[in-house]
Amino acid sequence: MTPTLLAYIQIALSVVLIGLVLIQYSDAGAGSAFGGGDNWNSAFHTRRGAEKFFFFATIFVAVAFTASTVVALLIK
C-alpha cells in the first residue's frame, strides 16, 4: 500500500467519522457535556434502529481510522 493511497483513505475515514459523530442524536444537549443536567440516569438508554446502526458504524470507522494510522506509522 502506497503512502499516498493511505493518506486518501485516512482523509475519507476522517470525514466519515466526523459525519457519523455529528449525526448521532443526544437527548442531553450541550449543557450536560460540561457537567450540567440533573438527571443521573440520562446517559443510559437502549439504542434501537438507526441509532444503533450509527453507534456501531462510528465504532467501526474509528477502529479502521486508528488501524490506518498505525499502518501509516509503520510504513514510514
Residue 30 resides in a domain? no
pLDDT at residue 75 tops 70? yes
What pLDDT, in 10s, does the model give residues 34-67?
Answer: 555 555 555 677 888 888 999 999 999 999 999 9
CB 68 within 8 A of CB 13: yes
35-44 pLDDT, tens per residue?
Answer: 555 555 556 7
Range of the domain at 56: 1-24+50-76
Given CA atoms 62, 68, 70, 72 in this order, what sign does their dihedral have?
Answer: negative
pTM greater than 0.85 = no
* Number of domain units in the chain: 1
Residue 5 lies in a domain: yes
